[in-house]
């Protein structure tokens, strides 16, 4: 479970303040498949970054499975993210000199997972996202949709409880988007992994079971389908 309590992120406090996230209190239960939507500048990405510990909020709390991660800093927050949260970014953020399998394996190397388990888990994930035959290709040798599937597999490598995906389909065509959403939906249902997306993409919104709408950093609508 993820809970935010009076969460705010203010840029340029005391000057030309921008309240990117403005006093948001929300609850996301285990196994949810949620889209956070709103116009550009509504605070979607900043909200996700605060929830995932990538940004430090100005005030308020983020509590994940009973732990207040806003009180963690330095190596503690890095280790928490590494072991509990998977991230999928719009720009894929794959390491260009590594192959698909090496990009996935990197997370487990950082976790100290032994070689046999790394190989087994990597192969399992490559099969899940339909890229085992392309495991030795570098990102430049993959299409955008294939790169994003590698990014999803990498996010899953650490067996996280939660996946936070920031505009994951923004650079993808309709077929790649459909394939990616099928994979995420299957993982959500089969493994009860919680997915929270920030998105403008109606195709993602249509597949979500909950849609949270932000405007000016505030929740203005929270609709469960």
Count of beta carbons in the 10 Å neighbourhood of residue 203 = 14
Q: Report helix angle 100-111 to 144-156, nearest 10.
A: 20
Which architecture, in CATH terms, is 2-224?
Answer: 3-Layer(aba) Sandwich (3.40)
Parts of the chain with a pLDDT under 50? none
Determine the Cα–Cα distance for residues 69 and 92; give it in Å rounded to an integer: 25
Model pLDDT, residue 175: 86
Q: Where are the domains of the chain?
A: 2-224
Model pLDDT, residue 161: 84
**73-118 pLDDT tens trace:** 888 999 999 888 999 988 888 999 999 999 999 989 999 999 999 9
The model carries a pTM of 0.89
Determine the Cα–Cα distance for residues 58 and 63; give it in Å rounded to an integer: 15
Model pLDDT, residue 219: 96
Determine the Cα–Cα distance for residues 176 and 90; give it in Å rounded to an integer: 14
Asked if 84 and 72 touch (Cβ cutoff 8 Å), the reply is no
Name the burial class of residue 60, with classes exposed (0-12), middle (13-18) and buried (19+) by CB atoms within 10 angstroms of its CB.
middle
Phi, psi values for residue 13, rounded to 5°: -60, 135
Model pLDDT, residue 31: 93
Model pLDDT, residue 165: 93
For the sheet with 18-28, list strands across it: 18-28, 2-11, 59-64, 67-68
Determine the Cα–Cα distance for residues 152 and 165; give it in Å rounded to an integer: 9
Asked if 21 and 9 touch (Cβ cutoff 8 Å), the reply is yes
Q: Which two tokens stand for residue 5?
A: 């309590």
Count of beta carbons in the 10 Å neighbourhood of residue 1 = 15
């Amino acid at each position: 479970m993820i809970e935010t309590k009076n969460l705010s992120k203010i840029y340029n406090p005391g000057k030309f303040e921008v309240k990117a996230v403005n006093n948001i209190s929300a609850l996301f239960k285990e196994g949810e498949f949620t889209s956070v939507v709103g116009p550009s500048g509504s605070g979607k990405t900043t909200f996700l970054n605060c929830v995932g510990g990538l940004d430090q909020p100005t005030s308020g709390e983020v509590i994940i499975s009973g732990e207040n991660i806003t009180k963690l800093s330095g190596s503690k927050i890095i280790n928490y993210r590494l072991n509990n949260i998977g991230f999928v970014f719009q720009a894929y953020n794959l390491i260009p000199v590594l192959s698909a399998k090496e990009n996935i394996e990197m997370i487990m190397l950082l976790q100290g997972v032994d070689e046999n388990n790394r190989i087994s888990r990597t192969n399992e994930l490559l099969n899940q996202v339909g890229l085992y035959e392309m495991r030795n290709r570098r990102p430049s040798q993959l299409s955008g949709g294939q790169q994003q599937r590698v990014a999803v597999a990498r996010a899953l490598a650490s067996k996280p409880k939660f996946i936070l995906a920031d505009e994951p389909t923004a650079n993808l065509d309709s077929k790649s988007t459909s394939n990616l959403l099928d994979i995420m939906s299957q993982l959500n249902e089969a493994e009860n992994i919680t997915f929270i997306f920030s998105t403008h993409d109606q195709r993602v919104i249509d597949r979500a079971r909950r849609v949270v709408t932000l405007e000016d950093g505030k929740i203005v609508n929270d609709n469960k389908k």
